[in-house]
Structure 1
Amino acid sequence: MIRPFLIALLAASPVLAQEGESADSSAPPQRVRSVLLYGEEACPKPDGPDEVVICARPGDSPFRIPKALRKTEPGPEGTSWVRRAELVDEVNRATLPGSCSPIGSYGQSGCTIRMLQQWKAEMKAKKDEEAAMPRGSELDD
């Protein structure tokens, strides 16, 4: 009969010990305030002895993404499916007809096409260069 009474008394003793400590000055504060500061803002002072103010500076502006999160490396996860399909086509084009490659069927047919496209680009560049030069009548003015 005494044994259950002693067990109950031992189980309740930590609760009684904690009640006595709450009146101590080492009790946690009643109010904790977290403040985010931007620019040159100063950390506000606590309103009373039972308040703790925690200040943090997350960045320059509340409306900007932090610099650590702004920089993204281009990679496959950021590439659209259309661009991925285009890349596959570009890689496979080396072995297709019209590729100007010794690999694959009809690769030589692309060499003529590429040569004509290069000649056309050279002629256009020459024509644009001549159009940019002033003529003799324009120099007299």
Structure 2
Amino acid sequence: MARWVWAGLALAITTPALAQDAPADPPPQRVRNATVYGKDACPKPASDDEIVVCARLDEGERYRIPKRFRAPPDRSSAGASWAVRADSAMEEARVGRPNSCSVVGTGGQTGCTQAMLRNWFAWRRDQQAQQRDIP
């Protein structure tokens, strides 16, 4: 009985492997991608060992900039007001000076409490704004 079980199991495992045939033709050597617009025809393969894959887009997209390039660049600092840019410049220049809360330079540690309070007030303003926005 055990022989029949083992023989059936061996036959079940090897049958799918025997059923596979070798490919009749080798796969194509070259795949070309093309984008066509509107009712334009897809280009024909140049040889028998080439496949042409066509992507069809609407006619209105023909002369447009591709979507991946359409997003405007990040201009957060260029669009900022003069006051915000001046404040950022002052914060950048503050490093290494007295009242800067920096380990660079003499007297830098004297501004740590002021920096902590500035950050806390900014955080609190953000929290209050978020609470006002919640219906």
Which protein is bigger by CA-based radius of gyration?
A: 1
TM-score (norm 2): 0.31
TM-score under structure 1 normalisation? 0.30
